[in-house]
Structure 1
Amino acid sequence: MSDTLKPTQPPLPDRLSIDPRSPHHVAAVFEHDIGIRFNDNERFDVAEYCISERWVKVPAGKTLDRKGQPLMIVLKGKVEVFYK
């Protein structure tokens, strides 16, 4: 885990989504490996996060919405994001 940015790494945004249709999607960040720690446990299933509002969105099992996208639930707690 490295808290220092390499010159090619963009700063991590306060809010980020993996969905390219979202206004919070930053493609340059996904060119690098990032990690998300939620309540001091690393999570690998986070679809969106907001550091300042202290929440993450994760899929609710295998449940899909009516458009065929995973149904998301919001979990509130301590959110930390870092480059691996």
Structure 2
Amino acid sequence: MNDATQLPPLPDHLSADARNPHHVAAVFEHDIGIRFNDKERSDVEEYCISEGWIKVPVGKKVDRKGYPLMIKLKGKVEAFYR
């Protein structure tokens, strides 16, 4: 696997949406994981470690522009490279 020195540092606030200013494309070149309240989640679209929240889609519901509706969940957030 990749050496840890080659991996970019994980930011405090990261979004999977390329339109968001918190999107960092270099991080998404590698496989990352999010642990929320000590359980690994695979459906996280955005997170903030310092504020302790994640955003996940609400089922298959979309807004009027066709983007998925998000819900913010608060708790303990950890980000890591797999």
TM-score for both structures, normalised by structure 1: 0.93
Q: Aligned partner of 1:17: which letter?
A: S
Question: 1: distance between equivalents of 2:37 and 2:64?
Answer: 31
SS in 1 for 2:6: coil
Correspondence list, 1:1-80, <5 A: 6-80=4-78
Equivalent residue pairs, number: 80
Runs (4+) of structure 1 exceeding 4 A deviation are none
Superposition RMSD in Å: 0.9
* Pairwise CA distance, 1:8: 1.5
Return 5+ residue gaps in structure 2 as ranges.
Answer: none
Q: CA deviation at 1:6?
A: 1.3
Q: What percentage of aligned pairs have identical amino acids? A: 74
**Structure 1: gaps of 5 or more residues:** none
